[in-house]
Structures are given as structure tokens and as C-alpha cells.
Chain A
Amino acid sequence: MTVFCIGLSHHTANVATREQFAGSATAESIVREAGCPEALLLTTCNRVEVYGVSHKRISTDEIARCLTKTPIRDPHYYAPPFYRYEAEKCVQHLFRVASGLDSMVVGESEILGQAKKAYELARKSGAAGQYLHRLFQRAFRVAKQVRTHTDIARGAVSVGSVAVDLAQRIFGRLSDCKVLVLGAGEMSERTARALISRGVTDLRVTNRSMDRACELARAVGGRAIPFETWETQCREIDIFITSTTSETPLLTTEKLAPLLRDRLDHPLFIIDIAVPRDVDPSVNEMEGVYLYDIDSIRSVAEQSLELRRQQVVAAEAIIAEHVTDFVDSLSRGLNDAARKTEHPLPGENSLRASEL
């Protein structure tokens, strides 16, 4: 028996191609139609992959046919976007996928949850047996180790998460932070939601249109305040998110200095996502004020991505170690089982080490 992975991902196929193969098949249907004893289907927005165990070779076209919504007769139609990994290569690929190394955003953790969900579905339906169980349990362990022992998942890579990450670096716990959102745009909403999800409870929203402010406040669980009061709010808030359409800076050093006079030991984190900017860049020079505009937030996201990329080598080393160990332990397990039953290693029902 050998373990294999056949699939397509953002590396090999565009979204139009991927969606042709996503959503119609299940692990059970693959076991039934392809005739392999065990199968697992991992479908995410970036990949459609089938992990299987079989003693006979199952062709890529056969799996592709099981996945497609609209079968096509040409036997070579499916080949180009699909990749195929077998034995050791397959184990390595799964460990890389689970650890987020194969993801579009390197190190993202969503894939691990998706892999766990796919495994649960396959296990419950009976499509995943002992081989896939061992393989996936090890993959989850590897992913955890990679995250713990490298910085692969460090740093935020989207505007909202960068803002939240930086706020946590400044204030620690966000539950005591007071947040003011000026301007009810989509980006402010997303950032506000990200902050709420990390424990912020005091969120104030203001906008030139009070109706729009009320609407956003209701949507994110904050409270609307009159637009005229936003400047005085700066005396007590900790985080200020602004994204108005003002042509001139709303906040300058001259305006802010008197407001901050009584809160010298209290930092102010300003997220200016407006273009043109709402806050004069010189505000960043003020003591205790940390100003991030859209470019600096993107730059932080880029730095995080670069940091993650630097961790790939360390992560690959951990994975390589596990691949070797997994293959060895599997081979030892099979030999022990063969000795116990005092029968020669059954060619049809065991996963031969040489094949792995």
C-alpha cells in the first residue's frame, strides 16, 4: 500500500480552475468511485487535495474525475493543474501544508483548522482508516511544533490584524482600552471589529453623518458620539482610528499638544487609514504618540511576511526530521506487526516502508 496526494492549489491553478473541482465530492464518494481503501478530501479556498491510501496505483485523472462537477471525456484534460505526491513526498507535502508553509500567506494558521475538520469528516464517514489517522495525527503534531519552535506565525499580515497587534504591543491587554473611530468607512469597521474581537469594550464611533455613526456603532457593538466632540475625546482615548475623506489633516501637533498635556504617561496609538491622511505626520514625533498611516501599516505587514519567510528554513528542518522519523516508525511498526502475526508482511494490506 502506498499513500498519495493528488490535488491542485493556488500554486498550480487559478480560482476559476479550482472551483471546477471544489464542492461536489466527499471523501466517501472518492473511496467508492476511485476504489481506494482510505481517502480524505481537503478543500479550502486555495486548494483541493485528496489524500489516499491504496495498494494499486490510482491515476490522477481518476481522482480528478471524482472531483469534477462536469466530467470531461478527454483523459488528459485534467493533468496540467494537478500535482501528485507519493509515499515520502506525500508525507512531506502534508506536513508542509498543515504547518502553513504551502499557504498563500506563509504561516497562516487557518489551514490547520481546515485540515483537522477534513480529517474529522473523513473519520466520521469511515473514509479515513488507521493509515490516514497516523499520518494526520503526526501532521497536526508537526504543525504545532513548527509554530512553537519558529516565528513562522509571528506578526500580523493584514491591516486589521497589524493594528491589533501593535495595540497589544503598546497596551498589553486591550480590555481596558478606550477606542475612538472617526469616519465610518469599511477599513475602520474592519479594524474596529478586529479590536473588539481582542477584548476592547469601550468603542466610540463618530462621523459627520450621525446616522452612519449610529449604524456602524450598532454593527460593531460600540456607541455613537457627536462629531463635534471628537477632539476632546483625544484627552482620554488610547486608540484612535481615523478614515475620513477630509482633504486637509484633521489632527496636527498644535491641536494635539494641549489635549495630551495631562496624560504624559499614557500612550496614544493613532491608526490613520485615510488617503489623503487625516493626521499630520509630525504628530508621530510627539512624546508617547505612535502614528501609523496606511503605508506604515503595510510596511509592518511586509516585514512580518519577510520574517515568516526567513523562518521557512527552520520549519523545513523540523518537517524533514519528522518525515524521516514517521517513515522509520511506520516501517518498525509494520515489522513488529508482521513478527507478531508470524506471517510474512502482507503485500496487499500494509504500507510498505520501501514505498514510503
Chain B
Amino acid sequence: MDRYLLIVSTVCFLAAVVHTAIELRAGVFRPLRFNFFAVGLGFIFQTAFLSLRGHELERCPLTNLFEVFIFLAWSVAAIYMLVGPGYRLSLMGAFTAPLVVVLQVFALIAPIDIRHPVKLPANPWLEFHASISLLAYGAFALACIAGVMYLVQERQLKTHQLHSIFYHLPPLSDLFAAITRLLWWGFALYTLGIVSGFFTGHPLPRPQVVAAIGIWLLYAAILQGRHLRWFAPKRVAALCIIGFSAALTLLWGITFTAEMHPIP
């Protein structure tokens, strides 16, 4: 039953992707409210799925790679719902939806929804650590998407080749302000996630801790470079993409090793 909710949710996000693709192809891209509503509806079904799964497990549904991917997709959609309309970044929905579709389709297709043979006991600190960290990933994902939008627009402005989509992108300054705020949000949540990891009551695998701190340092460096004006906005946008790719790789590694050596 819960997988059907997820399929419906994926279809909603896919509708946003297809709508954008058709409009871009026709050269009449207009973000309007369609993307926001499609993402919003998809988000509701995601939430319903996570809620059902949580009740079934009697804990935060982050017990395997499948759930981690869905929670990450949910975080991306949640942060978009918070940030998108607030910063008038309705176009961001067009960029957010494909990422969510990729995450959910992969989670649905790949044989990664492996239930633990025994019910895992609830561990509030561990659940808080995992969920906050994934919310941070959501913010970093959105910063990455805003970075892509920034680079697309910057490139068009530099080359003097303006396409239909150009007229619907937020101004460079607004995008850069959104990137900075998303980075700060992500960084604060990620810091909270790392700190709470030390309270789970279990020894954490050393490579995971080192890699997590590495990612934390990378984002700290981006923010510091931005604050001290070492990096131009274009470089910050590019670093957001690199940072999120690295964070995603780490997430994969953490979840994979956690499945090999589960923490009770």
C-alpha cells in the first residue's frame, strides 16, 4: 500500500518535469503555479508514505537505503516548499522535480527496500541525527539547484544568447542571496546533525565521522570564502554543485556501511 503512495507521488513530480519539458520545447516556458502544485501534491503523498512507514516501524523511517532516499527526496521537496514561494523562485520547482523523480524512481526500482529481520528499537538521538542530517541535505540540494540556475543564467548573460527560460529565471542577485541562505540553513542543520550523532550512545565508524567532518569543512570553507569575498558568486554556485555531489556520495557510503554493520 505504502509503495502505491510513493508511485503516485513520483507521478506528480514527473508531471512537473514533463510539463516543463513540453513548455521548454515549445519555447513558451511559464512556471506559473503548475510546478508548485505538482510538487506540493507529490510532497503530500511522500509525507503520507513516510507517515505510514513510520507507524509500521514505530520509529523514524530511516532504516534502509530505500527509506533514506525517500526521506532525502521529501527533504528536498519540503525545503523547496519553504524557500521557493518565499524567494519567488517558482522556477526552482522545474529544477527540483527532476532530482526528486530520479531519487524516487531509483528507490522504487533498485532492490534496496530490505526490511531488517528484527524490529529495530527506537533511538531518539539516532533518529534525530539522521533526520536532521537529511534535512540539511535537502537544503544543500536546493542550494545546488539554485547554483545550476545561477550558472545557466550567468552563461546566457556572458554569451549574449538569451533563451526563453532566461526570462523566467530570478535575477542573478536574488539567486545568489537564495544560495547563501540555503547554504547557511544547510550548514546549521548539518552541524546539528553531526553534533547529535555523538549522543546516539553508540561508537560511530571512524571513516564516516572523518568524511562527515570533511563535508562540514567543505561547506564551512564555501561560507567563509563567500563571507570574506574570496569566491566570486559563480564560483560559489559551482562549489554548491560540487559540495552536494560529495555529500551525496558520503550519504551513500554511510547508508551502505550502516546496512552492512547496523547500529541497534
Binding site for B on A (CB under 8 A): 149-151, 154-155, 166, 168-172, 262, 264-265, 267, 284, 287-288, 290, 292, 296, 299-300, 303-304, 307, 310-311, 314
Q: CA separation between A304 and B233, bound complex, in Å?
A: 27
Q: CA separation between A264 and B158, bound complex, in Å?
A: 16
Q: Which residues of B contact A150 (CB under 8 A)?
A: 28
Q: Are B232 and A169 in contact (CB under 8 A)?
A: no
Q: Are B161 and A303 in contact (CB under 8 A)?
A: yes
Q: Which residues of A contact B153 (CB under 8 A)?
A: 169
B157 within 8 Å of A by Cβ?
yes
Q: Are A264 and B232 in contact (CB under 8 A)?
A: yes
Q: Which residues of A contact B158 (CB under 8 A)?
A: 284, 290
Once A169-B153, A267-B172, A267-B173 are accepted as A-B contacts, the answer to whether A307 and B164 lie under 8 Å apart by CB is yes
Q: Which of A151, A288, A296, A304 contacts B232 (CB 8 A)?
A: A288
Once A169-B171, A170-B173, A264-B229 are accepted as A-B contacts, the answer to whether A151 and B164 lie under 8 Å apart by CB is yes
Once A290-B157, A300-B162 are accepted as A-B contacts, the answer to whether A149 and B26 lie under 8 Å apart by CB is no
Q: Are A172 and B174 in contact (CB under 8 A)?
A: yes
B167 within 8 Å of A by Cβ?
yes
Once A166-B157, A287-B234, A303-B161 are accepted as A-B contacts, the answer to whether A265 and B229 lie under 8 Å apart by CB is yes
Q: CA separation between A131 and B140, bound complex, in Å?
A: 59
Q: CA separation between A290 and B167, bound complex, in Å?
A: 17
Q: Which of B160, B171, B226 contacts A265 (CB 8 A)?
A: B226
Q: Which of B167, B171, B231 contacts A155 (CB 8 A)?
A: B167
A45 to chain B, nearest CB (A): 27
- In chain A, what residue has the closest Cβ to B169? A169
Q: Which of B167, B170, B230, B232 contacts A154 (CB 8 A)?
A: B167
Q: Which residues of A contact B229 (CB under 8 A)?
A: 262, 264-265
24 A-B pairs with CB atoms under 8 Å apart are: A149-B30, A150-B28, A151-B30, A154-B167, A155-B162, A169-B171, A170-B157, A171-B171, A172-B170, A172-B171, A172-B174, A264-B231, A265-B226, A265-B229, A265-B232, A288-B233, A292-B160, A299-B160, A307-B27, A307-B164, A310-B27, A310-B28, A311-B28, A314-B26
B37 within 8 Å of A by Cβ?
no
CB neighbors of A among B18-75 (8 A): 26-30
B167 to chain A, nearest CB (A): 5
